[in-house]
């Protein structure tokens, strides 16, 4: 269950729906009263229509930020635990445990990490567990040190992926300086435990580390911590010392109906009560991580997933997944709000037969919620699978296309991707009103100057979606890292010590580092220009207005992955630049509204329901 703690999640999606709405509702763009009114009306419709295509985003306070370079570093559950070490003076057998997930100080996630909820569910009775997600509740070193002292925390667990490990180490240092033991886990620590424990001359950041999937080791860690006998290393091994992968058949029930999820609500508090009664209810809106399985057999060179979870796929029971969706759906309804699910499986359809079975059970139980999942392009050739995805509530599919060059794909052991099939796959989804987040990496060995424009030429022929561009990044312990290190091509061997988004850590073969950076910038600038956004919106002219509003909102938010949109002024500028598209959408909103108002029922139509 905690297994996901190790997955490097390159997806740093930062969506700004909450703040975006606040800006729309509270302020003008730049053309005084007329445009102020336009933006307000448009915002209301945007809020209603987001449910059509809910985006899995991890967003900073004002924008959606995704860092595709680390897409392979799963942002879902991480094995993170904390327990009092020998330093602890606590005599009690009960503890107050803090589980903390850091931001990286640059971008923010707004989907919580599953590992915290899993660990909380797996904690033995008698202990109190509190959660802090640094993306939802920003906190610095002084703040966390003060928090653990004032709240009598006896143990802190910190989980981190490579992109946020520098911040994680700083926070762990502050907690340990306050006299509270720290256990660290997650993808990065699992691959580099000596770094966290300071075994090679560096600073020690953790009292203990949890390696691998912590489903079975977490209760042991808590028990040892309560006795003041915390060990340095906890690993999931059998009686012969061999690594053991936990079965997901007996999956812990996460009490979503009773958990405090206020920190993950993206609807501003000021407008929540009002929006609770808007259309189907928008008093709250949360994106919740759910897993249905773990593992991936593909072994792409740049990816950490196979190394962490193995190539043997393990699944939860269909009933377990369906019950969880029903619980989430019921909670959203009871709150007068909305909920969307991000299936964090590394490849949701890796076993098509099983996935179809799950989707059929979701449909049969009326457990559909709007959801996003990651699926390889090659698996989406299956017409029946795509039909079931749409019927079961699927709205967006994240596809790691990586490149339109077959040579690049073969170089990184992802030759199962066939660029010639991309267009057909995307059209197959779009025909069923399911759309794609397509991820590309530049700086690959066969890339040359102009790769961004060549990629964009292909993208422009596909159904409109959300393209994202990053740089191929060598994550520790991946085959890619080892190959580049052996070739002497690493320019920042420990790039994680200073997180810099969209920055190469090695020298490309056929272009310079500066040229690779320029290609990424060009891709983002062209794909998310006002003209490109207007064209994407226009491509939905044959569909109901809701689709145009959704692609517009989505494009504006995803633009923030690369271009800073971290404050109201930045958003107002974006609104101004896209003013014509906003005005077109609002005019159509009014047209539809007035049209509906004039279509009053006739006397004969109401006669049957008249009560004398």
pTM of the model: 0.81
- Cα gap 150→231, rounded to integer Å: 26
Burial class of residue 219, CB neighbours in 10 A (0-12, 13-18, 19+): middle
Query: Which pair of structure tokens corresponds to residue 596?
Result: 């509906």
* 594 band by pLDDT with thresholds 50, 70 and 90: low
Report whether pLDDT(76) > 80. no
Beta strands, E only, 78-216: 96-101, 128-133, 155-159, 182-185, 208-210
Q: Which residues pair with 208 in a beta bridge?
A: 183
Report whether pLDDT(356) > 60. yes
Least confident of 260-269, 344-353, 394-403: 260-269
DSSP 8-state code for residue 527: H
Beta carbons of 123 and 97 less than 8 angstroms apart: yes
- Cα gap 317→482, rounded to integer Å: 37
- List, for residues 288-338, the tens digit of each pLDDT value: 999 999 988 898 999 888 777 777 889 999 999 999 999 999 999 888 888
Can you give the pLDDT at residue 13? Answer: 33
Query: Which pair of structure tokens corresponds to residue 213?
Result: 């999937």
Higher pLDDT pick, 368 / 70 = 368
* 525 band by pLDDT with thresholds 50, 70 and 90: very high
- Cα gap 521→453, rounded to integer Å: 11
Q: At how many degrees (to 10) do helices 545-559 and 17-26 cross?
A: 110
Beta carbons of 146 and 139 less than 8 angstroms apart: no
Every domain of the chain and the residues it spans: 17-58+528-612
* 109 band by pLDDT with thresholds 50, 70 and 90: low
Beta strands, E only, 230-326: 233-234, 285-290, 293-294, 314-315
- Give backbone dihedrals phi and psi of 117, rounded to 5 degrees, phi first: -70, -35
Least confident of 265-274, 352-361, 369-378, 416-425: 265-274
H/E segment holding residue 584: helix 579-598
* 596 band by pLDDT with thresholds 50, 70 and 90: low
Q: Which residues pair with 243 in a beta bridge?
A: 237
- List, for residues 527-586, the tens digit of each pLDDT value: 999 999 999 999 999 999 989 999 998 999 889 888 876 678 888 999 999 999 999 999
- Count of C-beta atoms within a 10 Å radius of residue 139: 18
Can you give the pLDDT at residue 138? Answer: 85
Higher pLDDT pick, 435 / 103 = 435
User: Coil, helix or strand for 99?
Assistant: strand
Q: What is the CA radius of gyration of the chain?
A: 24
Can you give the pLDDT at residue 106? Answer: 61
Can you give the pLDDT at residue 312? Answer: 81
**Mean pLDDT, rounded, for 128-151:** 93
- Cα gap 34→575, rounded to integer Å: 14
DSSP 8-state code for residue 95: -
Beta carbons of 425 and 476 less than 8 angstroms apart: no
Can you give the pLDDT at residue 40? Answer: 36
- Cα gap 4→26, rounded to integer Å: 39
In angstroms, what CA-CA distances link 31 with 552, 565, 572, 579?
Answer: 20, 20, 11, 9
- Cα gap 112→272, rounded to integer Å: 20
Beta carbons of 321 and 308 less than 8 angstroms apart: no
* 195 band by pLDDT with thresholds 50, 70 and 90: very high
- Cα gap 21→43, rounded to integer Å: 6
Beta carbons of 79 and 212 less than 8 angstroms apart: yes
Beta carbons of 105 and 50 less than 8 angstroms apart: no
Report whether pLDDT(65) > 90. no
Mean residue pLDDT across the chain: 82
Can you give the pLDDT at residue 494? Answer: 95
Residue showing tokens 């005005």: 583
Can you give the pLDDT at residue 83? Answer: 40
Beta strands, E only, 16-141: 96-101, 128-133
Residue showing tokens 């991890």: 58
């Amino acid at each position: 269950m905690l297994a996901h703690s190790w997955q490097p999640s390159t997806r740093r999606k930062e969506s700004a729906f909450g703040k975006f709405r606040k800006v729309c509702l509270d302020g003008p763009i730049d053309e005084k009263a007329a445009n102020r009114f336009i933006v307000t009306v448009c915002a209301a419709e945007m809020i209603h229509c987001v449910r059509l295509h809910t985006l899995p985003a991890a967003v900073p306070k004002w924008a959606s930020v995704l860092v595709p370079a680390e897409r392979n570093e799963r942002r879902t559950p991480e094995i993170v635990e904390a327990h009092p070490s020998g330093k602890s003076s606590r005599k009690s057998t009960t503890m107050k445990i803090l589980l903390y997930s850091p931001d990286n100080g640059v971008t923010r996630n707004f989907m919580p990490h599953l590992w915290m909820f899993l660990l909380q569910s797996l904690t033995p009775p008698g202990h109190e567990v509190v959660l802090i997600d640094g993306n939802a509740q920003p906190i610095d070193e002084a703040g966390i040190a003060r928090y653990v002292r004032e709240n009598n925390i006896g143990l802190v667990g910190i989980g981190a992926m490579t992109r946020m490990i520098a911040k994680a180490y700083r926070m762990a240092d502050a907690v340990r300086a306050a006299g509270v033991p720290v256990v660290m886990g997650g993808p990065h620590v699992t691959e580099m435990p000596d770094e966290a424990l300071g075994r090679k001359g560096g600073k020690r950041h953790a009292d203990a580390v949890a390696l691998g999937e912590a489903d079975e080791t977490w209760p042991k860690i808590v028990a040892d911590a309560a006795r003041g006998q915390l060990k340095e290393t906890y690993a999931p091994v059998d009686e012969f010392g061999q690594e053991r992968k936990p079965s997901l058949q007996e999956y812990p029930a996460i009490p979503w109906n009773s958990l405090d999820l206020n920190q993950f609500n993206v609807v501003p508090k000021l407008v929540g009560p009002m929006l609770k009664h808007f259309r189907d209810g928008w008093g709250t809106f949360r994106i919740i991580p759910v897993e249905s399985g773990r593992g991936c057999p593909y072994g792409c060179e740049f990816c950490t997933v196979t190394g962490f979870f193995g190539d043997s796929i393990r699944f939860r029971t269909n009933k377990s997944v369906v019950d969880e969706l029903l619980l989430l759906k019921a909670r959203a309804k009871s709150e007068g709000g909305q909920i969307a699910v991000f299936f964090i499986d590394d490849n949701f359809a890796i076993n098509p037969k099983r996935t179809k079975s799950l989707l059929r059970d979701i449909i049969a139980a009326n457990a559909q919620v709007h959801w996003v999942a990651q699926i390889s392009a090659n698996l989406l050739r299956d017409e029946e699978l795509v039909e079931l995805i749409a019927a079961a509530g699927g709205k967006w599919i994240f596809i790691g296309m990586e490149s339109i060059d077959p040579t690049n794909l073969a170089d990184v052991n992802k030759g199962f991707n066939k660029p010639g099939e991309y267009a057909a796959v995307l059209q197959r989804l779009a025909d069923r009103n399911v759309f794609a987040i397509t991820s590309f990496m530049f700086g690959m060995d066969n890339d040359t100057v102009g790769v961004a424009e060549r990629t964009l030429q292909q993208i422009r022929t596909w159904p409109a979606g959300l393209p994202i561009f990053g740089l191929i990044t060598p994550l520790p312990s991946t085959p890619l890292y080892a190959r580049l290190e052996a070739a002497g091509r690493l320019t920042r061997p420990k790039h994680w010590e200073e997180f810099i988004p969209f920055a190469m850590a090695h020298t490309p073969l056929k272009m310079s580092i500066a040229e690779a950076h320029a290609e990424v910038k060009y891709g983002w600038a062209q794909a998310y220009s006002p003209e490109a956004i207007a064209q994407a919106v226009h491509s939905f002219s044959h569909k109901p207005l809701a689709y145009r509003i959704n692609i517009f909102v989505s494009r504006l938010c995803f633009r923030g992955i690369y271009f800073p949109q971290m404050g109201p002024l930045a958003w107002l500028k974006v609104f101004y630049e896209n003013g014509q598209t906003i005005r077109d959408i609002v005019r159509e909103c009014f047209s539809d509204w007035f049209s509906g108002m004039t279509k009053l029922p006739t006397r004969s139509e109401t006669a049957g329901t008249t009560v004398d």
